[in-house]
Structure 1
Amino acid sequence: MEATQFRYPLLLLLLTCGLAPEVVAEVEESSGDPSAAQEPVQLTDVPAAMEFIAAVEVAIIGFFQDLEIPIVSVFHSMVQQFPDVSFGISNDSEVLAHYNVSGNAISLFRLVDNEQLKLEGEEIENMDATKLSRFIMSNSLRFVTEYNPMVMLGLFNAMVEIHLLLMMNKASPEYEESMRHYQEAAKLFRGKVLFVLVDSGVKENGNVISYFRLKMSQLPALAIYRTLDDKWDTLPIAEVTVDQVQNFCDGFLKGKLHKSEEKTPKEEL
């Protein structure tokens, strides 16, 4: 897979060390309604492929020389498992050449950081439904991505090193309006900051909140984090507004912190 080499700071180890069988089971059991059969979009020329990729936040395209090889049926099965992801397929020689595919490949295109991840060669030959599901789930980053342990792997393997986390309860009355503002702000920082939602109503997300020394009584709150050096900052907020999110991100990018630099270090794991 053509992707940035993983960085392993403390936060990544904390949040992914519990990636247990139940996470894998969630991937394997995430298939949709078989009665609502869907197929990937046929991409017959280069303009169609370019338009397909540009129109969505996450696009996955199967580039195949031969549509009868085993991986093609595995690829088709993913359309049912991930109904919120756009799938395309092509065996057109000009399309394959345009995307530098000489054999068979599956590529994931992300709008949020203009990243293309590619599976090819031996990876395609040894690919099965479970492996392909994990690849899609962990790398399908959007303007706002909801946190789960599998997605966290993709976040730390992204081109963008700064992540902004909104920690709030999805069951709260303010959630929908807050998310609209948060998504609007996310588009202002495309390629600079990855925006993440952490649902504080999920018990397992407690270690994310405590890592940033926040209490439930302080939520909703923003936490911003740089993977390169573990530098971070937090800001409890009464409500989510575009201006507030933008100012917080701009401040961090300029080196301004709200939290005290003199606080005691976080506890070792």
Structure 2
Amino acid sequence: MEATQSRCLFLFFLFTCKLPPDVAAEIQESPGATQGPVRLTDVPAAVEFIAAAEVAVIGFFQDLEIPAASVFHGVVQKFQDVSFGVSTDSEVLAHYNITENTISLFRLVDNEQLNLESEDIESIDDTKLSRFIEINSLHFVTEYNPVTVIGLFNSMIQIHLLLMMNKASPEYEESIHRYQKAAKLFQGKILFILVDSGMHGNEKVISFFKLKKSELPALAIYRTLDEEWDTLPVAELSVELVQNFCDGFLNGKRLRENHESEEKSQKVEL
């Protein structure tokens, strides 16, 4: 019970960072693929389609003339890092336990299938469907913002690794490439998150883990169930360094002392 309450406080802490208008506009207007959703005509095609994408959204429709199908086609252009498919095949629907018109999001990072059920489909519009995709689109590395954090904490994966690094730094491209490689080693065990330390709104996240700007870039690992966490400033990020840090945490090893009493006093202020 105490862990649940603490987790709620942590969530409240993160949600106090509001999404800046320019970031919200970028999410809404990001250019997507110029083509429409891929038609999935049989089960092997659907399985291959989902396995090939970090995030896939499929419209399972018994009738393509319903309003929801039109809304679905309309949002495809907004998400360049999401694969869209559509199927009316009865065997495909049965394979994914679909019994009525449904829009499903599939995440490779934690093998989740999230469904918009019939009551949601009947009232779906562009805004509702876009937000469903925005919140739940978790990749091998998901960039933190007040929208994606909802999906991160709704995942069944309880351990989160945060890379706190300025995206404008010269080392960023090589570091994020290595970070993504490391993320695939912990698929289904740890969610990998990027926190852009160059963004003013992310300062609270950094300070939560008692890190100073002079210690960045740094890794912070956090378990939502009991709020255990650890940090590691990194001069140069490598796959081996990330792997060793994660393995150590999973095995109960921590690099910093437990600041449990200090953390509790901080949360009271929140």
TM-score w.r.t. structure 2 length?
Answer: 0.91
Question: Partner of 1:244: helix, strand, or coil?
Answer: helix
Partner of 1:15: 14
Q: Which residue of 2 aligns with 1:182?
A: 179
Q: 1:21 to 1:171 in 2, by over 3 A?
A: closer
Shift of 1:97: 1.2
Aligned match for 2:141, one of 144, 158, 161? 144
Q: Specify the SS of the correspondent of 1:265.
A: helix
Matched AA of 1:9: C
Unaligned stretches of 5+ in structure 1? 1-6
Match of 2:61?
64
| Change beyond 3 A, Cα 1:246–1:28 | closer
The CA deviation string for residues 220-247 of structure 1, in whole angstroms up to 9 with x for no partner, is 0000001111111111111111111111
Aligned length in residues: 262
Task: Tell me the equivalent position of 1:131.
Answer: 128
Query: Are 1:46 and 1:94, in contact at CA under 8 Å, matched by a contact in 2?
Result: yes
Question: 1: CA distance between counterparts of 2:208 and 2:27?
Answer: 30
Measured in 2, the distance between the counterparts of 1:74 and 1:21 equals 26
The residue identity in structure 1 corresponding to 2:217 is P
The one-letter code matched in structure 2 to 1:16 is: F
Q: Is the 8 A contact 1:43 1:90 kept in 2?
A: yes
User: CA 1:21/1:236 → structure 2, altered by over 3 Å: closer, same or farther?
Assistant: closer
Secondary structure, aligned partner of 1:9: helix
Of all paired residues, the percent bearing the same amino acid is 66
Change (3 A) 1:196 1:101: same
Q: Distance in 1 between matches of 2:26 and 2:98?
A: 28
SS at the partner of 1:149?
coil
Asked if 1 retains the 8 angstrom alpha-carbon contact of 2:40 and 2:85, the reply is: yes
**What residue number does 1:159 align with?**
156
TM-score by length of 1: 0.92
1:40 is aligned to 37
Structure 2 unpaired stretches of 5+: 1-5
* Contact in 2 for aligned 1:28/1:133 (Cα 8 Å): no
Q: Does 1:86 align with 2:102?
A: no
Matched, 1:260 2:262: no
Q: Does the alignment pair 1:234 with 2:231?
A: yes
Structure whose residues are more often helix by fraction: 2
Residue deviations 1:95-124 (CA, integer Å, cap 9, x gap): 111111111001111111111101111011
Question: 2:195 aligned with 1:198, yes or no?
Answer: yes
What corresponds to 1:4 in structure 2?
Answer: none
Corresponding residue for 1:3? Answer: none
Please tell me whether the aligned partners of residues 39 and 86 of structure 2 are also in contact (alpha carbons under 8 angstroms).
yes
CA deviation string 1:176-228 (max 9, x = no partner): 11111111111110100000010101111111101101111100000000111
Over the aligned positions, Cα root-mean-square deviation in angstroms equals: 2.0
The change in CA–CA distance for 1:21 and 1:102 in structure 2 (over 3 A counts) is: farther
125 and 17 in structure 1: CA distance in 2 versus 1, 3 angstrom threshold: farther
Q: Please, which moves more after superposition, 257-266 or 40-49?
A: 257-266
